[in-house]
Amino acid sequence: MTPPPAARLSIRRPPRHLTAVTLFCLVAAASALAVTATAAPPESQLTEPALNESDRDHWAFRPLRRGAPPPAHFPRARNAIDRWVGHHWRRRNLQPTPPASPHTYFRRLSYDLRGLPPTPRELARWSTQQAPDRAARVVDQMLASPAYGEHVAQHWLDLARFAETDGFEHDLVRKQAWRYRDWVIDALNADLPYDQFMALQVAGDKLLPGDPQAEIATAFCLAGPDMPDINSQQERLHNVLNELTSTIGSVLLGLQIGCAQCHDHKYDPISQADFYRFRAIFEPAVAVKRNQSLSLLNERKTPPVSHLMIRGDWRRRGPVVMPAFPRIANPAAIAIAAPSPGASSGGRLALSRWLADPANPLTSRVMVNRLWQTHFGHGLSRTPSDFGTIGDPPSHPDLLDWLAREFMARNWSVKQLRRIIVTSATYRQAGQREQSATDPEHVWLAGFPRRRLSGEALRDAMLAASGSLSSERGGRGIMAPLPPELLQTLLKNQWKVAPRHGDHYRRSIYLFARRNLRYPIFEAFDRPDGNASCARRSQSITAPQSLVLLNSRFSLDAARRLAGTLLQKRTRIDDTCYQELFQRVYARRATSEESQVLAAFYQRQTDLLRTSGRAPEQLALPIPRPGHLDPAAAAAFTDVCLAAFNSNEFIYLD
């Protein structure tokens, strides 16, 4: 199936649940501080390096290949992904690992598609199904869950450098920023085709005039850090436009075009003129006003004259430039028509079409590589926002191109592409218990790579396992309680704890995202700060991670609530209690040896607490407190639950 040409791209109106109250559009005048300069030379006087065949021969700039998948070389192959990957196994004499156990596979699926552990009831239902397509049915159920959008939206928010504050010294609150976060969640849950998902974020106000949700989508462009009180508002505008342009280039095209702000790119065939032509597409829609945060794009009737800035200096205007796409990513030389006299610019409308044009070799490649990364920990190219000369070439270029073409052929459906990936035999493999000498970096995927959960997934999993996770969706960011010592580092009234106690147990994506302060468990587990687009989170191993999971008030509260949930309908602590604990935390049954270890630990803690002579109010009692156990025994079971949350099996996905 051939995807429709970009000229016929039509943006259908979002579903009703995507429509909210109309947001005001921030219309502001430019700074009164003007730059005195002589008349700039016209674009015809620009000089820039010409592109040659060697430039276009780089793998990322070549047209998508049309090759068919090779024959299957191993009997468990389920789809074309396995045929491409198996082809490399055969060439390198690699043997895939056996299929993952059902509980491992379903746990992996649940975290990858919902960011939550499977419940004991779900595990029981799935394990009893005998239909050959039971895995596909489970995948469809998870993709249809509202929890899907709440989980996968965070990957996009990392790219969008999303936060609900400006950053810098004052870190002022952007009161409407949460609406963009909710738009992303709803769009992903509705499986809005990716071509439309992109188009609305760069030109929603032009594609669907008067639709408040389409306007909210354009907050993607202005979601980065900003300094509204800077002395020179013209310098501020220059910085905002450069950051916006760099982000669009890296996120949607996988190119570090921001390196060409001051000079021609040192490695990639991107000139400084390319950068400022691309920036000119957005200049008519961005205006700044002192002490007002940026919010949405707002097109001016008369487009400003755009210039190349000499050495990137906002005070030194160079030749005039006209809006255009980067030449290296535009092999068909698609031009942006000049606006009629008195009409607003059509540059962003043209961009929304060009991004999905089949002649554009980058857009679909970049996105399918990002989707692959969310399931395997790394993309087929391990530099997901840099497909340029010094980026990593893809390990499986034919598979990358097949996925990119399949993505477009399936109407840019993200859910359908994820379904292909997670039902493949490649994804369903067991992990390698020992590091393979022939594939130590898991490049060829002969075994599933072990991955650590994000800080958000850890917090949500602890709340879900303890039965305290709120199902409420959407709305303003929630400020959950913080340690007193952390609150002291903030300015007055920068963190007002939500008065409704139940809000403190909402999913992590709904916690207030402040640029100058990250929630402790998020900071410990490498959440980006929102000051720049993050294509792949770091994976540090530090002492504060253990301290947060073992000693924080949040961890202790989750352990107390898990203990209370497990003891609520039981009169004693026995093997059935340990079995449910394992199912809630690890999505599997405990072995007899593990039950014995837990029982011994529980008895030892009970004896220690009894001899300590502490008053009940000094103990970490389960919530709710069981009346049939003495305080020391009840608090000891809280310690058992806390220990379960601190194990590698809980923190990592096999």
Q: What is the pLDDT of residues 220-259, one digit of tens each?
A: 999 999 999 999 999 999 999 999 999 999 999 999 999 9
Under the banding of pLDDT at 50, 70 and 90, the label for residue 39 is low
Q: Does pTM top 0.75 for this prediction? A: yes
Tens of pLDDT, residue by residue over 360-369, are: 999 999 999 9
Output the pLDDT for position 44: 64
Enter the DSSP assignment of 537. Answer: -
Comparing C-alpha atoms, which of 145, 77, 65 is closest to residue 112?
A: 145
Cα 88 from Cα 98, distance rounded (Å): 17
Determine the average pLDDT of the residues in 136-144: 95
Tens of pLDDT, residue by residue over 582-635, are: 999 999 999 999 999 999 999 999 999 999 989 999 999 999 999 889 999 999
Tens of pLDDT, residue by residue over 425-474, are: 999 999 876 656 678 889 999 999 999 999 999 999 999 999 999 999 99
Q: Is the pLDDT of residue 1 over 60?
A: no
Look-up of token digits 């959960």: 453
- Residue by residue, DSSP assigns 577-632 as HHHHHHHHHHSSPPPHHHHHHHHHHHHHHHHHHHHHT--GGGS---SSPPTTS-HH
Residue 376 three-state SS: helix
Q: Is the pLDDT of residue 13 over 60?
A: no
Tens of pLDDT, residue by residue over 181-198, are: 999 999 999 999 999 999
Share of the chain above pLDDT 70, in %: 92
Output the pLDDT for position 440: 84
Tens of pLDDT, residue by residue over 305-340, are: 999 999 999 999 999 999 999 999 999 999 999 887
Output the pLDDT for position 278: 98
Determine the average pLDDT of the residues in 65-81: 88
Tens of pLDDT, residue by residue over 251-304, are: 999 999 999 999 999 999 999 999 999 999 999 999 999 999 999 999 988 889
SS3 assignment for 75-107:
CCCCCHHHHHHHHHHHHHCCCCCCECCHHHHHH
Output the pLDDT for position 32: 31
Q: Is the pLDDT of residue 36 over 70?
A: no
Q: Bigger pLDDT: 490 or 389?
A: 389
Comparing C-alpha atoms, which of 229, 354, 332, 217 is closest to residue 285?
A: 217
Under the banding of pLDDT at 50, 70 and 90, the label for residue 34 is very low
- Residue by residue, DSSP assigns 286-314 as ----TT----S----SSPPPEEEEGGG-T
Q: Is the pLDDT of residue 28 over 60?
A: no
Determine the average pLDDT of the residues in 386-404: 97
Tens of pLDDT, residue by residue over 550-577, are: 999 999 999 999 999 999 988 889 999 9
